[in-house]
Structure 1
Amino acid sequence: MFSTRIGLGCMGFSQAYGPADDDQSILTIRAALDHGVRLLDTAMSYGGGHNEELVGRAVAGRRDDAVLATKFGIVRGPEGVRLDAHPDRVRDYCDASLRRLGVDVIDLYYLHRADPTVPIEDTVGAMAALVTAGKVRQLGLSEVSPAQFAAARAVHPIAAVQLEWSLAWREPEGDIIPAARAGGAGIVAYSPLGRGLLTGALPPEPFGPGDFRAGDPRFAGETLAANLAVVDAVRSKAAAYGVSTGQLALAWLLARGDDVLPIPGTRNPSRIVENAAAADLVLTPDDLAFLDGLAWQGDRRSFAAYGTSRSA
């Protein structure tokens, strides 16, 4: 389904993991394109538009090398973070993203989160009009329930469903992933390295200013200690293959199906090469079974951060 097996999540260039350098970020994005990483994932909410502008600068003159995915529905402003997917405002959100990206068309346009005040089919109807207008090529949904996916798909084909999925967070396997697959949608996995946990190289606690992991219960106290012990088991298995823990974790995810595209984020160009190489790693059935059996602790806070939930 996807032309390349690894994409690039761009959120960290603008928020969530502390300060970043724009020039270095642009070099990293261009290094991704140089190494065949085509899907660049951004959103209007990342840095309040900064991230789309950054991606736009990085792809200037290289538009044909990139598949641009962006999202709307989470709004950041002086008053904080809110959800807005009202159909009357979808076109304006899209036009603003096009301006920031500096392009004429968005390859994959996601509803970032369903707005609980608006039927999702109304929002998707407005998104479908963008396809008709030539502003968007394909539609996607991020963090939806099976029922929401079904309602959206009844209005327009959905090319991709984005969700957090990694060796350390597997809850979506029980509901939305089977539903998305049954509906012919590809699976775009964000945080496929467990928000850095699966790299085996977390920064020391406490996390720095602006690092949202400081509020994630998976990264605190005894829960973090238990998870790091599991990472040690992953590291031992990775060493047997002569790869990093991150590469092993990405290879595990890629082994879940040809319809899976992880979008790890990184600010380091050398990590781009490392992550892309994971697509060539083939794990044995025994090792896949070993990794499947690992026990992780803690829950995540993604839904609470935006005032919504998987069941909304």
Structure 2
Amino acid sequence: MSWFKRLTGNISGEKKELPEGLWTKCEQCGEIIHKSQLELNLWTCHKCNYHFRITSYDYINILIDKGTFKEFDKKLRSVDVLSFVDTKPYKERLKEAMKKTGLNEAIITGTGKMNGIPVVIGVMDFRFIGGSMGSVVGEKVARAIERAYKLRNPLIIVSSSGGARMMESALSLMQMAKTSAMLTKLSSAKIPYISVLTDPTTGGVTASYAMLGDINIAEPGALIGFAGPRVIKQATGKDLPEGFQRSEFLLEHGFIDLIVHRKELKNKIVQILKLILEK
């Protein structure tokens, strides 16, 4: 005779499920984090400090004083001048990216204030075709540089990119020279440019404006490099050092100036700007 019987289901008879999207698993340590807690911690893991990828508007909300951001060049959009097709037409990729993100391109540019300091800011968004740099991204960066030059305001660019946009071929590669040349104008005028590198910052963006800041700041653990680790390993036939192309490795080897936690990013940039502008 069985003294105990196993109950099937729960006591109420109703199946309990966690609401979709309320919990997130940390990709680094596996910690289960509630969405509200993650947002309060600026999308970083409270246990291991892993920095989740966030959107361009999230960075603007973190860095720019509330109510001061004014976007410019919002209506600029890429066009398929080469009628490029890989697994699908480039035109379709653009439409899908616009629908998915609500953006017209992989970067948002505008003016705003950081603790009252007027700045020109550009923030890339990896969700838009991998944050790739095409003609419009290059043009918007160039216009942001020109705006900073005319206003004599510091320039901040937050990069998150897989590199040049292959669907635009040489047209995308031309943006590397274009943006780099524009930054020399800013440098000659002694207007500060701070580059913030987030995960990932690779390819042609790394090889141009992302690494040309007067101060180059990276978030912890960000992948930063030109070619990816897998490609480099295949080309050299050698095992790569531990942590290769991560922020900490680059800081140790002198490629970046600072690693700053996302929660301290705004205060650190403001501190740097005050030191520069007071001279």
Give TM-score scaled by structure 2 length.
0.33
Answer with 1 or 2: which has the greater Rg: 2
Kindly indicate which of the two structures has a greater share of residues assigned to helix.
1
